[in-house]
Amino acid sequence: MQNQKECGEVQALGCKMVAWEEETTDLENLDPEKYLVVENARVHNLKGVTVVIPRNALTVVTGLSGSGKSSLAFDVIYAEGQRRYLETLSSFARQYLGTLERPDVEYIGGLGPVIAIEQRTTGRNARSTMGTITEIYDFIRLLYARVSTGYSPTTGRALESYSKQQILDVSRKEFMGEKIALLVPQVRGRKGHFGPLFSTLMKRGYIYARADGEVLEMTKDLRLSRYVAHDIDLLVDRFVLDEGTMGRLAKSLDAALNRNEDGVIVSRLDGGGERFFSLSRMDGETGFTLPKPETFLFSYNSPRGWCPECCGLGAVERIDRDALIANPECALLEGAMVDFFEEKRIKVLALNQIRTVAKYYGIDISEPFSQLSDAQQHYLLTGEHAALRPVDSA
């Protein structure tokens, strides 16, 4: 790009926004995937300003008060992006939203979707973030809940779900002309003989089951090895799939889904593989599943969404033994612990608390700290599991 002419260069983070000499530079031919171009903007304090801003980069607009920072960012770039978005809506919707005037600018190119964040003061709450202060976090949670794709943490495969019609369509495409079996998962990786399960299935009119890959005829005496983990599937039906038996597959599929709402297996009887169809978000290889995504699952302020370790705070309080214990060869109250107490009253209460913990657990705190067991050291430093209250000094 030649013949640059800097006129009031605006400093940016990692880049520069430069005004271009429009007589010698064809701004409209710049790659719109790489650059946002504003040509000859005349809004408020902007007097024919032309800038080129790199896309996919963090750009900070700085300058003296009244230099036109807000006019460029909000009254030109954001206003034009919002106006273009409203034009994509139906005429019915636009009659309620009204129309926006086009900013006084000759040309804007490379403009993507725009979002303006309201300026607010920060909070001191540990759960306050840039996302919560600006309320972007609520929209992010809504986005994740509606269009997110779940993945198995074990295999990395995307979790899939199928409707009944989709199962029929895939079966027609992949299994047509083959002898198949329709199975319903009953047990996965559990130990036991499962006699009661087989008896229940027999009472409901079923004859065959597949245990650990082998098809068995169920009897009242059928028992598996008690101390071995088993995979058990109920065999609902088996037949050669063709156009004449697609109706049979649909009926058998209804029966299978009544037995298990999570999913079914279509297996080739010649051992040529099988396909698991899940009605929920599931990894067909491992059976890993996730609940239907809801907004509260993406909230660290909700017990159902936050990390169980830090409860959504993003940090966990730990005792730094090296910082607290200066001389482990001494007794805890005789030089082992750093004297970090600023007030005598707080120090007296803390030392009495330590004595109470020691008495509760039967710990001799006159011994060198290094001679105490790890559990005793842990109790003295944290007071964990002791239902104790501070004790006033005598």
The CATH classification number of 164-290 equals: 3.30.190.20
- Strand 105-109 and strand 35-41: the pairing is antiparallel
Widest CA span in the chain: 93
Q: How many other CB atoms sit within 10 Å of the CB of residue 385?
A: 10
* Nearest in space to 217 (alpha carbons), one of 201, 230, 228: 201
| Residue position matching structure tokens 């006699």 | 195
Q: Give the type of residue at 224.
A: L
- Whether residue 367 contacts residue 334, with contact meaning beta carbons closer than 8 Å, is answered with no
Does this model's pTM top 0.85?
Answer: no
* Nearest in space to 138 (alpha carbons), one of 114, 117, 111: 117
Q: How far is CA 199 from CA 168, 183, 193, 238, in A?
A: 30, 17, 12, 21
Q: What is the DSSP string of 67-87?
A: SSHHIIIIIIIIHHHHHHHHH
Distance CA 43, CA 75 (A): 7
Distance CA 391, CA 387 (A): 13
Q: Give the type of residue at 374.
A: D
Burial profile 177-186: b = 16 or more Cβ within 10 angstroms, e = fewer: eeebbbbbbb
Distance CA 142, CA 294 (A): 8
Question: What per-residue confidence (pLDDT) applies to 34?
Answer: 92
Distance CA 126, CA 313 (A): 7
- Whether residue 345 contacts residue 390, with contact meaning beta carbons closer than 8 Å, is answered with no
Total residues belonging to the chain: 394
User: Domain coordinates of the chain in residue numbers?
Assistant: 10-109, 164-290, 321-382
- Whether residue 300 contacts residue 312, with contact meaning beta carbons closer than 8 Å, is answered with yes
Q: How many other CB atoms sit within 10 Å of the CB of residue 98?
A: 7
Distance CA 198, CA 212 (A): 14
Q: How many CA atoms lie within 13 A of 275 on its CB side?
A: 16
Distance CA 267, CA 241 (A): 11
- Whether residue 390 contacts residue 383, with contact meaning beta carbons closer than 8 Å, is answered with no
Q: What share of the chain is helix, strand, coil (3-state, %, to 5)?
A: 30, 20, 45
Question: What per-residue confidence (pLDDT) applies to 389?
Answer: 42
Q: Which token pair is 67?
A: 């230099």
- Strand 229-240 and strand 214-217: the pairing is unpaired
Q: Which residues, other chains included, contact 244 with Cβ-Cβ below 8 Å and sequence gap of 6+?
A: none
Q: How many other CB atoms sit within 10 Å of the CB of residue 193?
A: 15
Q: Give the type of residue at 32.
A: P
Q: Which token pair is 334?
A: 């005789």
Q: Give the type of residue at 273.
A: G
CATH topology for 10-109 is Rossmann fold (3.40.50)
Question: What per-residue confidence (pLDDT) applies to 319?
Answer: 78
Give pLDDT < 50 ranges for the chain. Answer: 1-16, 18-24, 386-394
Q: How far is CA 315 from CA 125, 208, 286, 307, in A?
A: 14, 53, 32, 10
